[in-house]
Amino acid sequence: MSSLLLLNGSPRGTRSNSMKMLTRVGEGWVHGGGDEPEVLHLALEQDRTRAVEAFGAADTVVLGMPLYADSMPGLVMGFIETLAPYVGREGNPRFGFLVQSGFPEALHSRPLERYLAKLATRLGCEYAGTIVRPGGEALQVMPDRANKKLWESLREVGKSLHVGGEFDSLVLSRIAGKERLSPTMVRVMSLASKAPVTEFYWNGLLKKNGAWGKRFDAPYASA
């Protein structure tokens, strides 16, 4: 069991936080004795087409994604629906997941984690576990050297995936960090969110992604 397929489910593609994390999981896999993983980005049409075939050929698959408003990106759900022919097939790959979010608490990702565990079971895949990481948006602005401990933990779970067939639960807990913030910390973060620098950051993202002119749109409001 040496072949690993890394599927990046972020709409940001190669520059995403999900890919930064999946890369370290792949490095740990190789350090554990596995072959160099194949990497596909679901945001790229040619990779989505290849991903369905590659899923069936791999020994192990890790699907990584961001959490958007407590749910997976639409392109990930679209890919999952294409896996219907693999339900109950003999020889399906071991299946693991990575869910990262901008939320500061791990609990936001737990409902999706439970869904993904059921997905692996329904497909007939051995479930390898789910890496949950809150605060992922910080990876866009922090230098790699500032994330040394996180990168090392991700390499550890990648190695444990190859050696033991699943993610190490103790390391998963370390990666997840705070499950729920204390009431005091919630109040502190609420105040921090009103600071001018926070508004400057989010306004910058709106402008960068061409959404500044639509920031007050309410498409689901009653007519």
**193 lies in the same domain as 159:** no
Q: Is residue 219 part of a domain?
A: no
Q: Is residue 194 part of a domain?
A: yes
Domain count, the chain: 2
- Do the Cβ atoms of 110 and 141 come closer than 8 Å? no
Is the pLDDT reported for residue 223 higher than 90? no
pLDDT tier for residue 104 given thresholds of 50, 70 and 90:
confident
**188 lies in the same domain as 169:** no
Q: Is residue 217 part of a domain?
A: no
pLDDT tens sequence across 37-93: 999 999 999 999 999 999 999 999 999 999 987 789 999 999 999 999 999 899 999
**83 lies in the same domain as 192:** no
Tokens representing 97? 């997941």
- Mean pLDDT score across all residues of the chain: 92
Give the separation between CA 28 and CA 64, rounded to whole angstroms: 15
- Do the Cβ atoms of 136 and 102 come closer than 8 Å? yes
Residues of the domain holding 31: 4-176
Q: Are strands 38-41 and 4-8 parallel, antiparallel or unpaired?
A: parallel
**78 lies in the same domain as 158:** yes
Give the CATH number, domain containing residue 89.
3.40.50.360
Is the pLDDT reported for residue 21 higher than 80? yes
pLDDT tier for residue 185 given thresholds of 50, 70 and 90:
confident
Across-strand partners of 132? 99
Percent of the chain with pLDDT over 70: 99
Is the pLDDT reported for residue 186 higher than 80? no
pLDDT tier for residue 196 given thresholds of 50, 70 and 90:
confident
**144 lies in the same domain as 68:** yes
**143 lies in the same domain as 208:** no
**116 lies in the same domain as 82:** yes
**141 lies in the same domain as 192:** no
**86 lies in the same domain as 129:** yes
**52 lies in the same domain as 134:** yes
**119 lies in the same domain as 188:** no
Q: Is residue 223 part of a domain?
A: no
Give the separation between CA 24 and CA 129, rounded to whole angstroms: 16
Tell the burial category of 98 from Cβ atoms under 10 Å away from its Cβ (0-12, 13-18, 19+). Answer: buried
Phi, psi at 6, each rounded to 5°: -105, 120
**50 lies in the same domain as 116:** yes
- Do the Cβ atoms of 127 and 159 come closer than 8 Å? no
Average the pLDDT over 149-177 and give the result.
97
Q: So what's the pLDDT on residue 1?
A: 60
Phi, psi at 82, each rounded to 5°: -75, -10
Percent of the chain with pLDDT over 90: 70
